[in-house]
Amino acid sequence: MINRHEQEKKQFKRLFQQQGVDKFDDRFKVLEAFLKLEHHVTHADILRQLKEDGTHLDPGFVTSSMEHLCRFGFASRVAFDSGEDVLYEHRHLGVHHDHMVCAKCSAILEFKDEALEALQQRVAEAYGFYMLQHKMEIYGLCSQCMADRKKLVLLHKAKPGEKLIVKELEAGKNMQLRISSMGLKINDRIEVVSNGFGGQVVIAVGENRLVIGTGMAQKIWVQSVEREQVPGTFGGIEDAVPINLSQMKAGQEGTIVRVSGETQLRRRLLEMGINRGTRIYVEKYAPLKDPLELVVKGYHISLRIEEAANILVENVSSKKR
């Protein structure tokens, strides 16, 4: 890391002098302070480091210097949904990473997964998209916050995006009836949509949204749902990379994500029940591989290969019928 930082300093001197950037010596001090901080840093962190180095610079000057560092690729600005101020991180050329952000303590964890990078590239190619750059931010609870958390928590303390099971109702008979009348009961699986707006918790129960007041949410005990993995698939989770229906094999099933083609063809496919979100099963191919026989919503239909190429399918898996 020291060698890399020395290389960064040399490139900084060359680029800033070539571009004629003003107050070079002071801006170089900002770079040195920034390089000493290995984590995601705020403007205040950089000012604090400069002070420790015995350097006192105007905050506005430090901000403009960091903008120069971002412009020339020595730093990157990042802003997460956790409510933190704008952060700066080192940008090392040729090195990419993504982030996990704890919704409780705001800890930021960097990670890199080559298989995930390859998967994102495959997804882009499947949609005919040329990817220039990307970022992934995963929000959840870090291991420490999960360890500190009780097995059961009250609904009003749950975070948006959490998937939970309703375990207990610590309420009187009348409130239990109110909760039941809303369509919520013990052992229901729910997802927290939002929490805190107007003192209400919005949850999803299946395809239904429910708005729960804080008082009621303080009576509902929930438990986190551990994510179940599907064995024998990418990373333990069912491979969601979309492919053309014409590429599927006999005995495979998948979920339709897009139906394209000319207007007349697309309308006919939709009328046959081939629409987004529908599961479709490839029963068999004709001896010459054209047409192919499918099962959609319990009905058997036939499509030519050239027609099937207009249908994009994901979550493909083998299934016996």
HSE, CB side, 13 Å, CA atoms: give it for residue 165: 9
Q: How many CB atoms lie within 10 A of CB 47?
A: 19
Report the pLDDT averaged over residues 131-137.
81
Q: Could you give the CA distance from residue 271 to residue 249 in angstroms, rounded to a whole number?
A: 24
Q: Which CATH number fits domain 235-318: 3.90.550.10, 2.30.30.90, 2.40.70.10, 1.10.357.10?
A: 2.30.30.90
Strand partners, 256: 313
Pairing of strands 137-140, 98-102: parallel
Report the pLDDT averaged over residues 123-143.
83
CA distances to 158, 161, 221, 226 from 150, rounded to whole Å, are 12, 18, 11, 15
The predicted-structure confidence for 267-282, as pLDDT tens digits, reads as follows 888 888 888 888 999 9
Which of 51-65, 180-194, 233-247, 298-312 has the least mean pLDDT? 233-247
Task: Show the 3-state SS of 263-307.
Answer: HHHHHHHHHCCCCCCCEEEEEEECCCCCCEEEEECCEEEEECHHH
pLDDT for 237:
40
Report the pLDDT averaged over residues 95-99.
74
Question: Where is pLDDT greater, at 9 or 255?
Answer: 255
Which of 56-65, 72-81, 94-103, 233-242 has the least mean pLDDT? 233-242
Instruction: Note the CATH architecture for domain 2-90.
Output: Orthogonal Bundle (1.10)
Q: How many CB atoms lie within 10 A of CB 160?
A: 16
When pLDDT is cut at 50, 70 and 90, the band that residue 286 belongs to is confident
When pLDDT is cut at 50, 70 and 90, the band that residue 61 belongs to is very high
The rounded mean pLDDT for the chain is 81
Q: How many CB atoms lie within 10 A of CB 44?
A: 11
HSE, CB side, 13 Å, CA atoms: give it for residue 287: 0
pLDDT at 226 over 70: no
Q: Which CATH number fits domain 98-140: 2.60.40.420, 3.90.1280.10, 1.20.1050.10, 3.30.1490.190?
A: 3.30.1490.190
Q: How many CB atoms lie within 10 A of CB 87?
A: 17
Question: Where is pLDDT greater, at 96 or 180?
Answer: 180
CATH 2.30.30.90 boundaries in the chain? 150-224, 235-318
- CATH code of domain 150-224: 2.30.30.90
CATH 1.10.10.10 boundaries in the chain? 2-90
When pLDDT is cut at 50, 70 and 90, the band that residue 231 belongs to is very low
Provide the residue count of the chain.
321
When pLDDT is cut at 50, 70 and 90, the band that residue 82 belongs to is low
Q: Taking a C-beta distance cutoff of 8 angstroms, is the pair 91, 102 a contact?
A: no
Closest CA to 61 of 89, 26, 97: 26
